[in-house]
Amino acid sequence: MSYHYVGSELELFAAATNWKAYLAAILRPFVVGRVLEVGAGIGSNTSCLHSSLVREWTCLEPDANLARQIEDRLGTGQLPPNCRVITGTIASIDAAALFDTILYLDVIEHISEDSAELVCARRYLATRGNLVVLAPAHQFLFTPFDAAVGHHRRYNRAGLRALTPPGCQLSACFMLDCAGFFASLANKILLSAALPSERQIAVWDKLLVPISRILDRGVGYSFGKTIVAVWRPLGC
């Protein structure tokens, strides 16, 4: 059965260069070896997180139109040559494949059976691998925008901890974007916009993200509008 992504925000957020650079600084230590990026969209996270530590990168995208955009970027050299695209879901991956890093970046909130998804992903995680989830935080911030782009929920630490797949342990869980939290709260209370404007994204990215990079360290990454969890196999 074909899948069509209902959101229209991917290009907007692809232009958030400060946010992408911040994510790269935070997440790159976890992104090594053979990488599987589930729900790769148009490849904007691929380009910012790829590094010399990556041996090969598989972009898994269920929307055929989005997958073609990644293929186009590969063909024009916008993505590294050791990337490849698979159109499908986690069930499309070869049962014998193993990955050192499995990424769900702004993806798990789109999946109704999130727990079952991570149980399935665990089967493809190498012995010392990292299973990384980045998702929107705080259910009370759920807005028409979340609904418009197909989010089922937002998360907190307890919610992500409850998703720990069998045979894994939660090795890190932290929050990002303190300043962005207040922008999201203002949108929730005052605007309730179904889609942020280009200007709103630019203000957040150019003004608030640099502030968050300072404040997040100050609060020990304990507060923000985005939450990150990293699981590793037991014993690692």
Residue-wise burial string across 93-125, b where 16 or more C-beta atoms lie within 10 A, e elsewhere: beeeebbbbbbbbbbbbbbeebeebbbbbbebb
Torsion sign (Cα): 73, 74, 75, 81: positive
Please tell me the predicted confidence (pLDDT) of residue 188: 78
Query: What is the number of domains present in the chain?
Result: 1
CATH for 138: 3.40.50.150
- For residue 35, give every residue at least 6 positions away whose Cβ sits within 8 Å of its Cβ, in sequence order, or none: 54, 56, 57, 58, 99, 100, 101, 102, 103
Torsion angle defined by CA atoms of residues 22, 9, 47 and 2, in that order, rounded to the nearest 10 degrees? 140
Q: Tokens 């969209």 correspond to what residue? A: 41
Whether 2 is covered by a domain: the verdict is: no
Torsion sign (Cα): 85, 88, 90, 94: negative
If pLDDT is split at 50, 70 and 90, which confidence band does 150 have?
A: confident
Evaluate whether 161 touches 173 at the Cβ level (below 8 Å). yes
- Please state the pTM of the whole predicted model: 0.93
145: which 2 tokens?
Answer: 């925008």
Whether 210 is covered by a domain: the verdict is: yes
Each residue of 90-144: pLDDT tens digit?
999 999 999 999 999 999 999 999 999 999 999 999 999 999 999 999 999 998 8
For residue 161, give its domain range: 10-233
Strand order in the sheet with 83-87: 83-87, 54-61, 33-38, 99-105, 125-136, 226-233, 168-176
Averaged confidence pLDDT in the chain: 91
pLDDT(49) > 80: yes
Whether 5 is covered by a domain: the verdict is: no
Determine which helix (DSSP H) or strand (DSSP E) holds 103, and give its type and residue range: strand 99-105
Whether 1 is covered by a domain: the verdict is: no
Whether 3 is covered by a domain: the verdict is: no
Cα separation, 88 vs 65, whole angstroms: 12
